[in-house]
Amino acid sequence: MKQSFLLIVFSCCCSFLFAQYSVRLIVTDAATQKGADIYLAGDFNKWNPGDYNFKMKIFGATRKVYVFKDVAAGKFAFKFTRGSWEKVESTAKGEDLENHEVEVSSDTSLSFSIAGWKDDFPDKPKPNTASKQVQVLDTAFFMPQLNRYRKIWVYLPVNYNLLKSKSFPVIYMHDGQNLFNEQTAFAGEWGVDECLDTLQRLLNKDCIVVGIDNGGEHRMQEYNPYDDAKFGKGEGSQYVDFLVQTLKPFIDKHYRTQKDAAHTVTAGSSMGGLISLYAVIKYPDVFGAAGVFSPAFQVAPRLYLDAQQMKWKTVHRIFFYAGAKESETMVANMKQMEDALYNSKMIEEQEIIFPLGQHNETYWRQVFDDFYKWLNF
């Protein structure tokens, strides 16, 4: 069964058809850097932090203004910057801010005061945002297949220590640095722990998540099962062997897990999405489902053939997500892979395409709960 969903959103852009409103954004004050140029980055310009077309104009003695004309009804999001993401607005303590959102249904004028900028706090450490359900299993877990060591994270559901007789499904996720903790994340965390805590309360659905840090300079090789002219010899096969032959047996021995394929999942984004799908293809008796977020299939064209030739004995479930603004080929490449798999008649697929989605953790975080709700354990 193949299911497809298109998330329809409204975006602010001056060229939209049927636009009819104006939106005026005013910065009344900035706590520091008062005379600096201020830019808008948002849905309307692919979150470009230094787009000259969205530079605010001087308005009176101290204020800055930008006016959108002919805006369609709907919602758009944005942030203020001084020309780069290193100079994005922050709280007065240097903390990150959520995106501003504007709901447009009439001519609108909004005023903002900027409390601080991120570069005002160059030495401010990132906060530790991992919940109490997250633990570091090992900072140097040995990977014999690659003769390397790796940090491993484990998220245990809130009921793990209360329900002593219960066993839990397991999701193995790549790029572990980015899953739970803002302090270790490259560009913001997925918020997997907070998401699962919330969904446990709402759905009474529990699982264990094992996060495997990427290998830094080895990431492009470890997450690609095929040799690549630019990045070198593919090590994805050995990496997946590590998951199945070393890490999973350890997790199954030390935690109360449901060990069968129906309750064992792998997931990741970009190269992590690629290696997640490969893991299911190489070890279909181990992994029963995969979350494939914004997959980097363009670096591994051979995977299409391997997917098409796969002889599935049982139905496997693959969740596909892509943002339409990631690249010109992202959605097309993903659909090509979906077709290659679907021809086997033994795959249940779900596809989500977000028209404004870009290639970063912000969007993967937004869709992770859809993926988890879709899992049938």
Residues whose CB is less than 8 angstroms from the CB of residue 118 and which lie 6 or more positions away in sequence, other chains included: 85, 86, 87, 88, 89, 90, 94, 96
Cβ–Cβ under 8 Å, residues 256 and 281:
no
Q: Which residues contact 158 (CB under 8 A, 6 or more apart)?
A: 133, 197, 200, 206
CA distance 347 to 277: 12
Band of the pLDDT at 6, cuts 50, 70, 90? Answer: low
Amino acid identity, residue 316? H
- Residue with more model confidence, 64 or 15: 64
Mark whether 148 and 116 lie in a shared domain.
Answer: no
Residue 125 belongs to some domain of the structure? no
* The pair of three-digit structure tokens given for residue 95, joined into one six-digit string: 């903390």
C-beta contacts of 138-146 below 8 A and 24+ residues apart = 141/247, 142/246, 143/239, 143/242, 143/246, 144/242, 144/246, 145/238, 145/239, 145/241, 145/242, 145/245, 145/246, 146/215, 146/218, 146/222, 146/235, 146/238, 146/239, 146/242
Give the count of domains, the chain.
2
What percentage of the chain carries pLDDT values higher than 70?
A: 95
Mean pLDDT score of the chain? 91
Nearest Cα residue to 312 out of 289, 293, 334: 289
Confidence of residue 344 (pLDDT cuts 50, 70, 90): confident
Question: Residue 127 domain-assigned?
Answer: no
The beta-strand segments (E) located in 192-275 are 208-212, 264-269
The residue with tokens 């601080």 is 116
Residue 2 has pLDDT above 90, yes or no: no
Of residues 3 and 349, the one with the higher pLDDT is 349
270 and 176 within one domain: yes
Model-wide pTM > 0.85: no
For residues 131 and 194, the answer to whether their CB atoms sit within 8 Å is yes
> Is residue 21 helix, strand or coil?
strand
Task: Give one word for 127, left, alpha or beta, with left for phi > 0 and alpha for psi -120 to 50.
Answer: beta
126 within some domain: no
Query: What's residue 173's pLDDT?
Result: 98
pLDDT at 19 over 60: no
- Based on the fold, state whether residues 295 and 365 are members of the same structural domain: yes
Q: Are residues 174 and 207 in the same domain?
A: yes
Is the pLDDT assigned to residue 176 strictly greater than 60? Answer: yes
- Looking at the predicted structure, is the pLDDT value of residue 311 above 60? yes
Domain that holds residue 226: 134-374
Per residue in 216-270, pLDDT (tens digit) is 989 999 999 999 988 899 999 999 999 999 999 999 999 999 999 999 999 999 9
Residue 266 lies in a domain: yes
Report the residue count for the chain: 377
Say if residue 62 is in the same domain as residue 203.
Answer: no
Q: How many C-beta atoms surround the C-beta of residue 6 within 10 A? A: 11
Q: What is the CATH number of the domain that holds 256?
A: 3.40.50.1820
Q: Looking at the structure, do residues 86 and 139 belong to the same domain, yes or no? A: no
Under the phi-then-psi rule, with left for phi > 0, alpha for psi from -120 to 50, and beta for the rest, what region is 285? Answer: alpha
CATH of the domain at 107: 2.60.40.10
Least confident range from 84-88, 191-195, 368-372: namely: 84-88
Question: Which pLDDT score is estimated for 11?
Answer: 40
Mean pLDDT of 35-44: 90
Question: What pLDDT digit, counting tens, does each position of 236-249 carry?
Answer: 999 999 999 999 99
- Output the pLDDT for position 1: 59
Contact (CB, 8 A) for 24 and 35: no
Question: Residue 16 has what pLDDT?
Answer: 40
Query: Buried (b) or exposed (e) across 56-68, using 16+ Cβ within 10 A?
Result: beeeeeeebbbeb
- Is there a domain that residue 3 lies in? no
Asked whether the predicted pLDDT for residue 66 surpasses 80, the reply is yes
Task: Work out the pLDDT band at 345, boundaries 50, 70, 90.
Answer: confident
| Angstrom distance (rounded) from CA 377 to CA 367 | 18
pLDDT band at 50 (very low <50, low <70, confident <90, very high): confident
Same domain, 190 and 70: no
Same domain, 244 and 152: yes
Q: Are 16 and 72 in contact (CB under 8 A)?
A: yes
pLDDT of 98 higher than 50 = yes
C-alpha dist (Å) from residue 225 to 18, 196, 218, 231, 297: 48, 30, 13, 12, 11
Are 152 and 70 members of one domain? no
**Is position 284 within any domain?**
yes
pLDDT above 90 as % of the chain: 71
